[in-house]
Each structure stands twice: as structure tokens, then as C-alpha cells.
């Protein structure tokens, strides 16, 4: 369907540059933006509850938890 839009000149210029950079056309860029906006309205953000381990444990004695190399070496030896 064809329609007429009255866009801010600066916004239109930026959109044309973005479309060219993405190797698409202005129509497709506007459609994608509108789809994202509508999708966001349909699915309200729900807070995510992350699981928290409350058990006992920790690092092996002598293992430096601040050293990536030490952690990677320990993981390699564990496998």
C-alpha cells in the first residue's frame, strides 16, 4: 500500500544513509522500524528472575579466582 509520510528532514537524511549502509531501501528500513515498535508494544517487558545458588561450595583450595589462566588450567585438568 502506498502512503505519504511527513518526516523531519534530518531524520529522513539519516534514514537514507542508514538504508544505504545496510544495502536496503528506505521503505524496508521504515517497515522494519515499525515492526520493531509494534512488537515491543505487544510484548511488555517482564522482569526476569535469575536463579541464585544458595548452597555451599567455592573454589578448590589454592585456586586463584582472579586469574583467568588459573581458572582455564583448572578447567582443562578437570575434563
- Sequence spans of domains, the chain: 9-42
Contact between 29 and 19 under an 8 Å Cβ cutoff? The reply is yes
Work out the pLDDT band at 8, boundaries 50, 70, 90: very high
Tell me: the pLDDT tens digits for 34-46? 999 998 878 777 8
Contact between 62 and 74 under an 8 Å Cβ cutoff? The reply is no
What proportion of the chain, given as a percentage, has pLDDT over 90? 49
**What is the CB neighbour count within 10 angstroms for residue 72?**
10
Amino acid at each position: 500500500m502506498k502512503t505519504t509520510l511527513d518526516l523531519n528532514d534530518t531524520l529522513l537524511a539519516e534514514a537514507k544513509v542508514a538504508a544505504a549502509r545496510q544495502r536496503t531501501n528506505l521503505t524496508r528500513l521504515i517497515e522494519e522500524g515499525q515492526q520493531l515498535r509494534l512488537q515491543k508494544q505487544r510484548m511488555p517487558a517482564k522482569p526476569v528472575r535469575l536463579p541464585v545458588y544458595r548452597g555451599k561450595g567455592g573454589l578448590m583450595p589454592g585456586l586463584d579466582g582472579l586469574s583467568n589462566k588459573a581458572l582455564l588450567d583448572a578447567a582443562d585438568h578437570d575434563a
